[in-house]
Structure 1
Amino acid sequence: MDYSRQDLLDAYRRAGVCEGKVVYVTGNFGRLGRYESKDKATLFQDHFDVLMELLGETGTLVVPTHSFKLVNTDEPFDPHLTPSETGPFSDFIRQQDMACRQFHPFSSSTAIGAQAQEICGGKSRHVYGAGTPFDAMVKRDALFLALGKEARNSVSLVHHVELAAAVPYRYVKEFMKPVVRQEAVQVEPFYLHVLYRDMEVERDRNVTIMASFEQQHELHKVPLGRSFIESFSMSQFYDHVLQLMIENPFIWLRKEPQTKPFQK
């Protein structure tokens, strides 16, 4: 055994999970090592129970529940049945009775708790930008939690900032997609903020961004099992990285692209 339920409680509390907080959880649970129970269902249930215990009646848990395999297919998206591709814990959360899943066929978030509907029940057809779960979480100063790996490797919030900063190497693309609404299949438009296809892109993997953020803001790193939890304020990250991208719109990249399909 590498960690127990009590270890979970202590680590999540030290990482900043507390009464009334909105918490966004992602990462790799397998890297935490062996849990006190070998049963996967018990493992996920205990993580969930501990988080909700700390969040209390006024807190909210949010997880990514992507389904990118549906891009460019005719398979309908059903928010109640389409599985999450973002790890088994996120799919466990998606299947809970009180879960509210964002209605987006490719890159949804799912929430449980007091503000679940306000965060994931909106009508935006975008993943990032006004009226999306990421917009709602930033406004509520949600806590970003990365389990089992460095936050820089899973901080999709950076793409929400890219849209706000209007970075030139991305554009909004429309996808006409069959979805299930009220038990009927219909085709509707949805949007992704995508990279230009004919462009050399070398990702920086958020190394520069996170190094700059850590110089001015607190990044908690809490041991858990064989690995750790990293956590930080989503609103602080948004404000900090937005200024970075305004000053240098290519900071997410290792270097500015030589081929610029966005340039006339």
Structure 2
Amino acid sequence: MQSLVESFRSIGIKPGTRLIVHSALRHLGPIEGGADTLLDALLACIGQSGIVMVPTFTYNNVVYDPEATPSGTGIFTEIVRKRPGAVRSLHPTHSVAAIGEGAAQLCEGHHPLPGFGIDSPLDRLAKAGGGILLLGVGHTGNSTVHVGESHARVPYLDIPFNPEWPSRIAITGPVPMEVDLYDHPGCSRAFGVVEASLRQRKAIRDGKIGTGLAQWMSGESVISAAVDLLRQDAAALLCNDPECYRCSRARARLGR
């Protein structure tokens, strides 16, 4: 584990760091102890005052149980979700789980908001000086770019990613409720364009975790880069696939 701790520290992760991790462990090569060891190393780096957050998205489920509905975003996110002391937000399609000081405050009140809207957990994390760690994935997996779309108030937020997905979802738990979804997160296949802008700003620190590549950056820099791109071109973050429901209709609305 010590080599992982040293690798994380080398890219700037230190006591008190707050971060969201997007990961594909298969691209990191063999890690002794697997995802549990990876989490232990991160927690050792950030100490008692830091926070590790992960996406635990469930996308198009009909009923969401924050205690039992598994994450659809990889094994590392499930390890975090199930770790004692972890807090999971109540958003029925784009929940997050977090461990550390202030995790409950970051996650609370997520369910009535857009998944990546203003004052969502990812937005709060960025405003609190938090960062984004990409482990074995590129910016197509960087959900904070969606927060930039919300700040830019792009005119296609109301278009769903898939019209067949439910727009109202039941949440089970101590206080059962139903939540209406709006300002939907969409396609992220074109988000790679954000990287060039971030590198021009010298906002990315590169590293290596295991045999895989890692990128570390602040959440505020990602939101700022996305907003700037969208102010120049409202279609900057839309893919070109005519079969993509969200992006094709967004382009049509924008006259593209």
> What is residue 142 of structure 1 aligned with on the other side?
130
Shift of 1:172: 6.4
Match of 2:140 in 1: 153
What's the offset of the Cα at 1:249?
Answer: 1.2
- TM-score, normalised via structure 2 length: 0.85
Provide the aligned C-alpha RMSD in A: 2.4
- How far apart, in 2, do the equivalents of 1:91 and 1:193 lie? 23
Q: Give, in angstroms, the shift of residue 257 of structure 1.
A: 6.1
Question: Residue in 1 aligned with 2:163?
Answer: none
Contact 1:22 1:137 in 2 (8 A): yes
Does the alignment pair 1:260 with 2:252?
yes
Residues 1:130 and 2:109 are matched in the alignment: no
Is 1:25 matched up with 2:13? no
SS of the aligned residue for 1:228 comes to strand
Contact in 2 for aligned 1:60/1:112 (Cα 8 Å): yes
Pick one of 37, 41, 55 that aligns with 1:50: 41
Alpha carbons of structure 1 residues 233 and 222: separation in structure 2 relative to 1, 3 Å: same
Closer, same or farther: CA 103–191 of 1 in aligned 2, 3 Å: farther
1:80 to 1:211, Cα distance in 2 relative to 1, 3 A = same
Letter in 1 for 2:53: V
Q: Structure 1's 186 and 140: CA in aligned 2 closer, same or farther, altered over 3 A?
A: closer
Q: Match for residue 243 of structure 2?
A: none
What's the offset of the Cα at 1:206? 2.4
Point out where structure 2 has 5 or more consecutive residues left out of the alignment.
161-165, 241-246
| Distance in 1 between residues matched to 2:106 and 2:223, nearest whole Å | 17
Q: Distance in 2 between matches of 1:47 and 1:204?
A: 27
Pairing 1:53-132 to 2, within 5 Å after superposition:
53-70=44-61, 73=62, 76-125=63-112, 126-132=114-120
- Partner Cα separation in structure 1 for residue 239 and residue 57 of structure 2: 26
Supply the AA of the counterpart residue of 1:107.
Answer: H
- Partner Cα distance (1:189, 1:209) in 2: 30
Q: Which residue of 2 aligns with 1:178?
A: 170
Which one-letter code corresponds to 2:74 in the other structure?
G
User: In the TM superposition, what is the alpha-carbon distance from 1:33 to its structure 2 partner?
Assistant: 0.9
Gaps of 5+ in 1: 196-200
Q: Is 59-68 or 173-182 further displaced after alignment? A: 173-182
What whole-Å deviation, never above 9, does each CA across 1:79-99 have from its counterpart, x for those lacking one?
A: 010000110110111112211
Count of paired positions: 242
AA paired with 1:229? A
The question of whether the paired residues in 2 share the 8 Å contact of 1:217 and 1:236 is answered with no
The CA deviation string for residues 136-157 of structure 1, in whole angstroms up to 9 with x for no partner, is 111012121111133x231111
C-alpha contact 1:26 1:63 (8 A) present in aligned 2: yes
More strand by share: 1
Max Rg structure: 1
Question: What secondary structure is seen at the aligned counterpart in 2 of 1:230?
Answer: strand
Q: Conserved in 1, the CA contact under 8 Å of 2:115 and 2:185?
A: no
| Cα separation, 1, equivalents of 2:111 and 2:94 | 12
Deviation at 1:12, TM superposition (A): 0.8
Map Cα deviations across residues 236-264 of structure 1 (whole Å, 9 max, x no partner).
1212221221222111135696962477x
Contact 2:140 2:192 in 1 (8 A): no
Which 10-residue stretch deviates more, 166-175 or 15-24?
Answer: 166-175
Superposed displacement of residue 47, structure 1: 1.2
The aligned residue for residue 198 of structure 1 is none
Aligned amino acid, residue 65 of structure 2: D
Name the counterpart of 1:166: 153
Q: Please give the TM-score of this superposition, normalised by the length of structure 1.
A: 0.83
Pick closer, same or farther for the CA change 1:175–1:243 going to 2, 3 Å. Answer: same
Aligned to 2:235: 250
1:141-178 Cα offsets, whole Å, 9 max, x none, are 2121111133x231111111111112123316682111
Q: Which residue of 2 aligns with 1:226?
A: 211
**Paired amino acid for 2:49:** T
